[in-house]
Structure 1
Amino acid sequence: PGAAPGRTGSGTGAARGNTKTEGGGGTRCAAPGARGGGGGAGSAPGGGDGAAGAGAVRLQPEPWAVYPDYEARAAAPRAVPPVPVPSRPWAPAARATRQDTAPTGRRRRAKSSATVSRNLNRFSTFVKSGGEAFVLGEASGFVKDGDKLCVVLGPRGPEWQENPYPFQCSIEDPTKQTKFKGMKSYIAYKLVPSHTGQQVHRRYKHFDWLYGRLAEKFPVISVPHLPEKQATGRFEEDFISKRRKGLAWWMDHMCSHPVLAQCDAFQHFLTCPSTDEKAWKQGKRKAEKDEMVGANFFLTISVPTGPGASLDLQEVESQVDGFKAFTKKMDESALQLNHTANEFARKQVTGFKKEYQKVGHSFKCLSQAFELDQQAFSAGLNQAIAFTAEAYDAIGDLFADQPRQDLDPVMDLLALYQGHLANFPDIIHVQKGALTKVKESKRHVEEGKMELQKAEGIQERCNIISFATLAEINHFHKIRVRDFKSQMQHFLQQQILFFQKVTQKLEEALHKYDSV
């Protein structure tokens, strides 16, 4: 049915087919496809002008009056158009289609893992890190000799092979520099690697870029966290000093790690001259285009082979669970110690200093009162009491300065290890995901759904992840013992020196009374 446009007064209404048209704001027509109204006209399906004038109402016609074959249409079965089915790549049929159209090599890999289900959570660390794709045999790539990461068996179990050329790197002399003719300011840190002896300058954003690259490349290695960013007060002396100390701890852990220390991106960061912008960008692009990331990263890991080098999965699971409980307890203890040390330092800087100086002021008032006595034999006592007052003032200053010597280094170390502890849940998740695939493949072999050879391939790739995880756990414990031994020795030494200074002040005040 069609309709011709009608125009009356100031409103216009038109209907095309069964579509609705509007008039100038009158009464809604009941017939489909028409609105009439005061000052306008609407046209019903199939015909002529609508009613004009205010308050005009078009009644709904009977259906058989509009459609001559209405009764026949009602009696005939209604034709339902086919509903298109959306594509579901996860459906078995769709997956089989992809396998049929894929190249021979890809089809073989897909078929081998068809009976091992994929993780439904595609945002899990196990999936994002490439661990799942590697365990299912989907990783492929050429591994250069320089990219190989070796795990060896040591006295404590699997360990990363030591760096044959160990080195350290100092971070010194943070200086404020400018660019764009002084429009932008930043802090540059001087780095001096021991294996080159050539100093380079790096900004915090360069450290941040390096951290991002390493965290992406090494999913089973705990890359130490950088000191936190700060939007305000970036050029204050205390903030710069604290950040430099944090970066020094970060650099120490980087240089101490057998894998991270030899990474090409880290070496480029340490050795590229600060003035060679072209060389810096080339190395930066090379690191960002690294193909040995994700699932391909696990291809670079070389593990021990032979009869005595196999891992017992139950034992590995027990060790990983034990380390998981350890990290949870250590994290809780580190938080508690950090809070306690921070509160104790605050009391020393404000409360203790104030209280000791209040005692000193009271002694001073007493000596001033005694000075009102003009007797000669009283002068020595007055001077001794005044000296005692000065000693307590000095002790208050010692308390205020002491946290920088002992408590602050402890809190800096705790902050670094809290970053490590935050990394390990993801590392453990990758290993647990691989172990789950092994258990699933064994069950499929028992049920006859998978060939034994394919299940052994999954277990072999899981062993690679397990070797790397245990090697990283052992490295963490090794460095932890080294760091906390050194830091606790430093803390106690500084405490002893502090109380020796306090004792010295008190002894000097005591000797003043010998001549009274």
Structure 2
Amino acid sequence: FFDKHGVDNYLLHGCKAKSDEHVHIGYDEKEGGICWSHNPTMPPFTCKVEEPLKGTKLGGFKSFIEYKIHTQISGNRVVGRRYKQFDWLHEQLVNKFRFICIPPLPEKQIAGRFEQEFVEERRRQLEIWLNRICRHPVLCASFPVQHFVTCELTDGNNKEWKAGKRRSEKDELREAVWLHCVTFTNSNLSDADITSYIDAFVQQQPSLESQIKNLTQGLVKYLERHTEIYERDIQRISELFAKFQKVLQMDTTTLGNKELSDSTLKVSTAYNSIADLYKTKGSEGIRDFDERIQEYIGLLACFPLILSIQRSASEFIRNIQQRGPSTVSDYNGVIHRSQVLNHVVLAEINFFQKEKVQDLNLYMKTLMHEQIQFYEQITSELHDAAVTFH
């Protein structure tokens, strides 16, 4: 796939296409070294995907869910988008930005796609996906993303949307040709240094992806136990205490037995409440954490292709260097363009690593606090029952 993506042609001949696009790669120790520079006119932003609403067309023959997209940049403008428009945006980004990680969309579903629980799950996942795109210093400023989050689209007014859609689809600056838009600030890193940083990530990536998959699989099983086993077993304990309390109730003469009976009922009530907590509070935090780290499986899955192209390009350049400058017409240009490619790959690696640290810190801290609250609520239920005994 080295030739498939046009990298060899870019390295040997560059690109003569003119474009207003410009992407710069800088050097900042705080950002991990080589890093994407923010677009001065369009920095990264966040967005919300809200208010899913079922719509119809073709006289009710076709149904769909439309989501409202709120962003910081559109002057409080709200645009409606269906899943197929998210799918269009994903396709445009994958085709254009071959050397940037574009996470996959949540999978499309046919059966049950209008059920409330599925619609809410899909809304959350689309919001996570879109925020990942809009936080990227390069993607957030790209025309497809800007068109997606700002262009109004209605059945009666779709000319602007279609015009922007055609512009994006006819964009020639995609795959390796897009590298023509990239410049970089010279750093004190040699080509060998940059290659060594990339190689270090090559060693990390498979293990990180594998362990995140293992973690998500474990969390899924744990969630299943919460709702299918723990909740049921705890409800069973509640029922057993309730039956035990009814037997205690039969003794109406022994001193203190009524108080014992009432306290036993409190125990039954406490366990019933705990079962409800396992179904709701205990599952929500773990589910949210699982959704967010599953996104990282999709991000990490983007890297093998990127790294394979970079490795093939490096071998290509080494062969040219071994044969000598006279073997190509623009030797210095070839070397420079290979440096552009290496800077792009390392900038994306460093951006991923920085986001990973920030995200996982937040995700795990949030999970721990939610689990603390969950178990504190369980403790509170048990404490309320315990204090009734004399």
- TM-score (normalizing by structure 2): 0.94
- What displacement does 1:139 show? 2.8
Q: Tell me, yes or no, if the aligned pair for 2:98 and 2:176 is still in contact at 8 Å.
A: no
CA distance in 1, matches of 2:124, 2:211: 23
The equivalent of 1:280 in structure 2 is: 161
Q: Is the 8 A contact 2:230 2:278 kept in 1?
A: yes
Counterpart position of 2:182: 301
Corresponding residue of 2:284: 405
3-state SS in 2 of match to 1:177: strand
Structure having the higher helix fraction is 2
| 1:491 paired residue number | 367
Q: CA deviation at 1:404?
A: 3.8
Distance of aligned partners of 1:176 and 1:396 in 2 relative to their CA distance in 1, 3 Å threshold: same
SS class of match (1:405) = helix
1:137-216 equivalences in 2 (<5 Å): 137-144=13-20, 147-155=21-29, 156-164=32-40, 165-166=42-43, 167-196=45-74, 197-216=76-95
In the other structure, the counterpart of 2:214 is 336
CA distance in 1, matches of 2:236, 2:146: 55
**Larger Rg, first or second structure (1 or 2):** 1
Q: Is the 8 A contact 1:437 1:458 kept in 2?
A: no
Partner AA of 2:100 in structure 1: I
Q: 1:350 to 1:242 in 2, by over 3 A?
A: same
Q: CA deviation at 1:317?
A: 2.4
Residue 258 (structure 1) aligns with: 137
Q: Letter of the aligned partner of 2:59 in structure 1?
A: K
Which residue number corresponds to residue 430 of structure 1?
A: 309
SS of aligned partner of 2:117: helix
Q: Give 1:366 shift.
A: 1.4
CA distance in 1, matches of 2:294, 2:83: 18
2:111 equivalent to 1:239: no
Return the offset for 1:201.
0.5
2:89–2:148 Cα contact (<8 Å) kept: yes
Which residue is 1:102 aligned to? none
Q: Give 3-state SS (helix, strand or coil) of 2:105's partner.
A: coil
SS of residue paired to 2:301: helix
Deviates more, 1:483-492 or 1:309-318: 309-318
Matched, 1:477 2:356: no
Distance in 1 (alpha carbons) for counterparts of 2:227 and 2:22: 51
Residue 384 of structure 1: how far off its partner (Å): 0.7
8 A contact 1:214–1:223 mirrored in 2: yes
* Aligned partner of residue 500 in structure 1, secondary structure: helix
1:82 aligned residue? none
The residue number in structure 2 matching 1:94 is none
In structure 1, what is the Cα distance between the partners aligned to 2:227 and 2:84?
33
**Aligned AA for 1:490?**
T
Q: Matched residues in 2 for 1:173 and 1:370: separation?
A: 52
Percent of pairs with identical residues: 30
Is this contact kept in 1: 2:94–2:102, CA < 8 A? Answer: yes
Q: How does 1:501-516 map to 2 (within 5 A)?
A: 501-514=377-390
Structure with the greater relative contact order (CA < 8 A, sep ≥ 6): 1 or 2?
2
CA drift of 1:138 comes to 4.9
For residue 344 of structure 2, the aligned residue among 468, 476, 479 is 468
> Are 1:438 and 1:459, in contact at CA under 8 Å, matched by a contact in 2?
yes
Whole-angstrom CA distance in 1 between matches of 2:292 and 2:3: 32
Is the CA contact (8 Å cut-off) linking 2:248 and 2:261 kept in structure 1? yes
**2:11 and 2:4 mapped to 1: Cα distance?**
13
The answer (yes or no) to whether the contact 2:24–2:36 under 8 Å persists in 1 is yes
Secondary structure at the aligned position of 2:200 is classed as: helix
Classify 1:403/1:136 alpha carbon distance in 2 versus 1 (closer, same or farther; 3 Å): farther
Once the two structures are superposed, residues 200-220 of structure 1 have per-residue CA deviations (whole angstroms, 9 ceiling, x without a partner) of 110000000010011000111
Alignment of 1:1-400 (within 5 A): 124=1, 126-144=2-20, 147-155=21-29, 156-164=32-40, 165-166=42-43, 167-196=45-74, 197-275=76-154, 276-305=157-186, 309=187, 311-375=189-253, 377=255, 378-400=257-279
Describe the SS at the equivalent of 2:15. Answer: coil
Aligned-residue offset at 1:143:
2.6
The equivalent residue for 1:450 is: 327
Deviations 1:68-109 (A, max 9, x none): xxxxxxxxxxxxxxxxxxxxxxxxxxxxxxxxxxxxxxxxxx
CA distance in 2, matches of 1:482, 1:393: 38
**CA distance in structure 1 between the aligned counterparts of 2:283 and 2:61, rounded to whole angstroms:** 34
Q: Which secondary structure state, in structure 2, belongs to the residue aligned with residue 142 of structure 1?
A: coil
> Are the counterparts in 1 of residues 289 and 367 from structure 2 also a CA contact under 8 Å?
yes
Aligned length, in residue pairs:
382
Q: CA deviation at 1:403?
A: 4.4
C-alpha displacement at 1:229, in angstroms?
1.2
Moved more, 175-184 or 277-286: 175-184
TM-score by length of 1: 0.72
Query: Deviation per CA, 1:136-191, whole angstroms, max 9, x where unpaired?
Result: 115321132xx011111111221111243432211111111111121111000100
Unaligned runs of 5+ in 2: none
Of the three residues 284, 297, 305, the one matched with 1:418 is 297
SS of residue paired to 1:141 = coil
CA distance in 1, matches of 2:311, 2:282: 42
2:19 counterpart SS class: coil
Distance in 1, matches of 2:251 and 2:175, equals 86
Matched residue of 1:136: which SS? helix
Unmatched runs of 5 consecutive residues or more in structure 1: 1-123
1:332 alignment partner AA: S
Paired with 1:342 and 1:184, the residues of 2 have a C-alpha distance of 34
Which amino acid is 1:174 matched to? Answer: P
Q: Distance in 1 between matches of 2:375 and 2:176?
A: 56
Q: What one-letter code is carried by the residue in structure 2 that aligns with 1:333?
A: Q
Which amino acid in structure 2 is aligned with residue 148 of structure 1? Answer: H
